[in-house]
Amino acid sequence: MEGWQRAFVLHSRPYSETSLLLDLFTESQGRVRVLAKGARSRRSQLKGTLQPFTPLLVRWGGRGEVKTLRNAEAVSLALPLSGITLYCGLYVNELLSRVLEQEIPFSELFFDYLNCIQELAAGTASPEPALRRFELALLGHLGYGVDFLHCAGSGEAIDDAMTYSYREEKGFIASLVLNQRSFTGHQLRAIEARSFPDADSLRAAKRFTRIALKPYLGGKPLKSQELFRQFIPKKKPDAPQA
Concatenated DSSP letters of 94-156 = HHHHHHPPBT---HHHHHHHHHHHHHHHTT-S-SHHHHHHHHHHHHHHTT----SSB-TTT-P
Could you report the per-residue pLDDT of 222-231, keeping only the tens digit for each? 887 766 666 6
Cα 107 vs. chain centroid, distance in angstroms? 14
Cα 217 vs. chain centroid, distance in angstroms? 12
In terms of pLDDT, which residue wins out, 239 or 25?
25
User: Which residue type is seen at 24?
Assistant: L
Predicted confidence at residue 232, as pLDDT, reads: 60
Task: Catalogue the E-assigned strands of the chain.
Answer: 5-15, 19-26, 30-36, 56-61, 67-74, 163-167, 171-174, 182-184
This prediction has a pTM of 0.89
Number of neighbours of residue 225 by Cβ within 10 angstroms: 16
Kindly report which listed range (38-47, 100-109, 143-152) carries the lowest average pLDDT score.
38-47
